[in-house]
């Protein structure tokens, strides 16, 4: 049985952008500040090093009851006991990942348009990471930002959770929630902050503000 997830605030813990800071320290501080989900990304690590990091992150987050999602690698997600895996459009196909992981673990897919999002839903994704919503320097991409209008258009046509990503911060987070996203995924908005825990708390407060606005409209 899949774990119930609070999609509000996902930290994309990226090894390559951690700089001189210890990534596990960043994860721990962000967890204390209120992130509800962590996606561990390590594009350049060897499989052995990625697994070792994954095991440490899983142990850290397990004690705080925060789910860990492994980026790109279903095998490492399985080996470290993660809650699931997040795949890109060029990674292992979703159906193949499902055969490896079974139905008890989550599988998310990065999508950038309605066609990709609908296909992900039809193939059984548990959630999608949708973006970029706004322009971002964190990830090199040629994709055109969706903007709030594009985000709203896609969210309104899906029945699975949507994590918005791309150029998100405490200022635009409420509008993203009002547009229909279930939560946001961020890298630099937390990782680059001088005080990681405070940045996470401020983002959570902004998300609460967005949800209150949605509730008041109903």
Q: Which of 8, 98, 105, 110 is catalytic?
A: 110
d(CA 136, CA 120): 24
Long-range contacts of 90-98 (CB under 8 A, 24+ apart): 94/120, 94/123, 94/124, 94/125, 95/123, 95/124, 98/124
Q: Which of 8, 41, 73, 188 is catalytic?
A: 41
Q: Is 157 a catalytic residue?
A: no
Q: Which of 56, 119, 139, 211 is catalytic?
A: 139
Q: Is 110 a catalytic residue?
A: yes
Catalytic residues: 41, 110, 139
């Amino acid at each position: 049985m899949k774990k119930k997830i609070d999609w509000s605030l996902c930290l994309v813990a990226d090894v390559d952008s951690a700089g001189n800071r210890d990534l596990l320290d960043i994860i721990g501080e962000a967890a204390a500040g209120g992130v509800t989900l962590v996606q561990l990304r390590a594009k350049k690590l060897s499989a052995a090093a990625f697994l070792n990091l994954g095991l440490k992150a899983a142990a850290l987050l397990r004690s705080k009851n925060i789910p860990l999602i492994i980026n790109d690698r279903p095998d490492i997600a399985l080996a470290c006991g993660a809650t699931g895996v997040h795949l890109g459009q060029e990674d292992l196909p979703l159906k193949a990942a499902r055969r490896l992981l079974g139905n008890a673990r989550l599988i998310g897919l990065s999508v950038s348009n309605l066609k990709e999002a609908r296909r992900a839903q039809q193939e059984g994704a548990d959630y999608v990471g949708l973006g970029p919503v706004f322009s971002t320097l964190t990830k090199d991409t040629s994709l055109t930002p969706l903007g709030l209008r594009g985000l709203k258009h896609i969210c309104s046509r899906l029945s699975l959770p949507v994590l918005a990503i791309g150029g998100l911060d405490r200022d635009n987070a409420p509008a993203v929630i009002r547009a229909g996203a279930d939560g946001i995924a961020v890298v630099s908005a937390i990782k680059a902050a001088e005080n990681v825990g405070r940045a996470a708390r401020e983002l959570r407060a902004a998300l609460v503000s967005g949800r209150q606005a949605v509730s008041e409209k109903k």
